[in-house]
Amino acid sequence: MLSREETELLARVGPGTPMGQMMREYWIPALLSQELPHPDCDPVRVLLLGEKLIAFRDTAGRVGLIQNHCPHRGASLFYGRNEAGGLRCVYHGWKFDIHGRCLEMPNEPPESDFKHKLRARTYPCVERGGVVWTYMGTRATPPPLPNLAANQLPEPEIEVAAIQHECNWLQALEGDVDTSHASFLHFGSLKPEDTEPDTFLYWMIVHPAPRYAVVDTPYGVMYGAYRPATPGYLYWRIAQFLFPFYSQAPEGVLGQHAVTHALVPMDDHHTLRIMMHQKSHERLPIQGRTAKYPSGWGRQFVGGTGWTDRFKPVANAENDYQLDRKAQRRGDSYSGIAAIREQDNAVTESMGPIYDRSGEHLAVSDVAVIRMRRRLLQAVRAYAEKGVTPPGLDQPETYWVGSGGVVLPEEADWIAATEVLRQQVYTG
């Protein structure tokens, strides 16, 4: 378990906090490119690491991320006019470009040079793989983008989506790293006869309590859950945690599918999950699906332009995630909640905005979560106390790894036996 002090150290991400400052040294996925669909489109409110920012795409198609309050008198630039290469505050007409330079001050005398002395706070942005990335750190030259395969696929292969969690980022990430819950929360209503024998799903249902292996890596933690498969073989679900907040779930077949989720802290109590997937491969080989199999994405959102409206699901805590008790009693659904993402939200959000982990009772199945927490604590303390460069920051090539399922002989060394497959996440 974590002490309350350790939970606070890991959970809090606002400006000036140790974890918040460390995260700012990495490139951060801020929003989806599709949220800014064309030049001079409507600005978007972006809540990121406790900062209120405004995203806009200028006339040249470049993305800017600027402070919410106009530097003049503090009016929100969300109401600004996005036109002619900049965002113009509607209060007095001051216009700023994506670099924060003041281009025009129409209410000032023509001879005034004040606009040349003023600069709004902005963060540099780049686009890759349908995601807008920003750097909020201290380096004059930002580090390289992480070499995530799921974010570098050809356009026809890319699938990008997002969903919001009404809880702290660490809870959402721990839910991903906790690999054993899938046999219950997501697939608990299935019986062996609902699946095709000798498939990944069949082995998950027949053997719901796997054993575990965990190792530290330069980029984070790699872990495997293994269970009996056909005689003499084990079914391994190999997954990854990558600094500072990425997960790679064991979807699909190892070496044949690229997937990465970013659990991006909006503030201490809200998290934006940005999902980057490869379209062309089924995420989990599931033959013989039945009506009891849950849907995956749950993409119905409340809508709106508020700070926490962008990807808030319709099925949320206010309506008990549209819990269907009849379906739960019939055995059609283990949780009674239809979609996998809303199932995850229900359990992680029900812990509260920031869960006090000092009351936990951890078990063998939590070994990967424990190791991930340990790595995060070591990294943030080393960064805050000694200025040690966070893991993976200057090693973008180490992020080219994959996750997924694989069947290995019982005697095989799982790390050596999967080395090539873990690098072969996409071959074109």
Of 152, 128, 163, 130, the residue nearest 33 (C-alpha): 130
Q: Determine which helix (DSSP H) or strand (DSSP E) holds 46, and give its type and residue range.
A: strand 44-48
The two most distant CA atoms of the chain are separated, in Å, by: 85
Shared-domain flag, residues 258 and 400: yes
Separation of alpha carbons 326 and 97, rounded Å:
55
Same domain, 197 and 295: yes
- Euclidean distance between CA atoms 30 and 47, whole angstroms: 9
Q: Please say if the pLDDT value at position 64 is more than 50.
A: yes
Residues 139-142: contacts with CB within 8 Å, 24+ apart? 139/25, 142/27
Q: Is the pLDDT of residue 285 over 60?
A: no
- Please report the pLDDT score of residue 361 as a whole number: 92
When pLDDT is cut at 50, 70 and 90, the band that residue 403 belongs to is very high
Specify the pLDDT at position 187. Answer: 86
**Contacts (Cβ under 8 Å, ≥6 apart) of 37:** none
User: Residue 174: enclosing H or E segment and its boundaries?
Assistant: helix 169-177
pLDDT at 427 over 90: no
Site of tokens 């980022």: 169
Mean pLDDT, rounded, of the chain: 92
Residue 20 lies in a domain: no
Residues 188 and 324 both lie in one domain: yes
What CATH number is given to the structural domain containing 267? Answer: 3.90.380.10
Bridge partners of 248, per DSSP, are 240
Q: Is residue 14, in this structure, part of any structural domain at all?
A: no
User: What is the CATH number for 128?
Assistant: 2.102.10.10
| Rounded-to-integer distance, Cα 138 and Cα 235, Å | 44
Q: Residue 339 — pLDDT band, cuts 50, 70, 90?
A: confident
pLDDT at 91 over 50: yes
Amino acid present at 71? P
* Range 361-380 average pLDDT: 95
In angstroms, the CA 194 to CA 188 distance is 11
Q: What does DSSP assign to residue 58?
A: -
DSSP structure string for 287-311: -S--TTSPBS----B---SSTTTTT
- Minimum mean pLDDT among 214-228, 293-307, 324-338: which range? 293-307
97 and 160: one domain?
Answer: no
For residue 121, being part of any structural domain is answered with yes
Mean per-residue pLDDT, 319-335: 92
CA atoms of 162 and 311, how far apart (whole Å): 7
Label each residue of 306-374 as H, E or C: CCCCCCCECCCHHHHHHCCHHHHHHCCCCCCCCEHHHHHHHHHHCCCCCCCHHHCCCCHHHHHHHHHHH
pLDDT score recorded for residue 165: 95
Task: Report cis status (omega within 30 of 0) of the bond before 228.
Answer: no
Residues 157 and 55 in one domain: no
Mean pLDDT score, 127-156: 95
Both tokens of residue 388? 């040690």
Instruction: Select from 135, 163, 185 the last residue of a domain.
Output: 135
Q: Which of 80, 108, 135 is the last residue of a domain?
A: 135
The answer on 346 and 269 residing in a single domain is: yes
Position 6 in a domain: no
The amino acid sitting at 40 is D
Q: Is residue 13 part of a domain?
A: no
Domain residues for the domain of 267 are: 149-423
Q: 319: which 2 tokens?
A: 């309506």
Least confident of 40-49, 348-357, 419-428: 419-428
pLDDT tens per residue, range 231-250:
999 999 999 999 999 999 99
Residues 323 and 291 in one domain: yes
Average pLDDT over every residue of 378-400: 97
The pLDDT confidence band at residue 135, using thresholds 50, 70 and 90, is very high
pLDDT at 289 over 60: no
pLDDT reading at 288 higher than 60: no
pLDDT for 286: 42
Count of other CB atoms within 10 angstroms of residue 331: 12
Distance, in Å, from the CA atom of 298 to the CA atom of 360, rounded to the nearest integer, reads: 30
Residues 90 and 190 both lie in one domain: no
Q: 252 pLDDT band (50/70/90 cuts)?
A: confident
Phi, psi of 29 (to 5 degrees): -70, 115
Q: What percent of the chain has pLDDT over 70?
A: 94
Answer yes or no: do 154 and 126 share one domain: no
37 lies in some domain: yes
What whole-number distance in Å separates Cα of residue 347 and Cα of residue 336? 12
How far, in Å, CA of 246 to CA of 393, rounded? Answer: 13
Give residue 1's pLDDT band: very low, low, confident or very high (50, 70, 90): confident
**Does residue 428 belong to any structural domain of this protein?**
no
Instruction: State which of 82, 105, 135 marks the end of a domain.
Output: 135
What are the helix (H) ranges across 197-292?
Answer: 200-206
Same domain, 123 and 177: no
* 326 and 374 housed in the same domain: yes
User: Tell me, what amino acid is at 99?
Assistant: H
**Would you state the pLDDT for residue 296?**
53
Based on the structure, what is the number of domains in the chain? 2
Identify the CA nearest to 64 among candidates 91, 94, 85. Answer: 85
Domain assignment present for residue 142? The answer is: no
Neighbour order of strands in the sheet with 86-88: 81-83, 86-88, 95-96, 102-104
Q: Are residues 97 and 33 in the same domain?
A: yes
Dist. CA 424–CA 258, nearest whole Å: 9
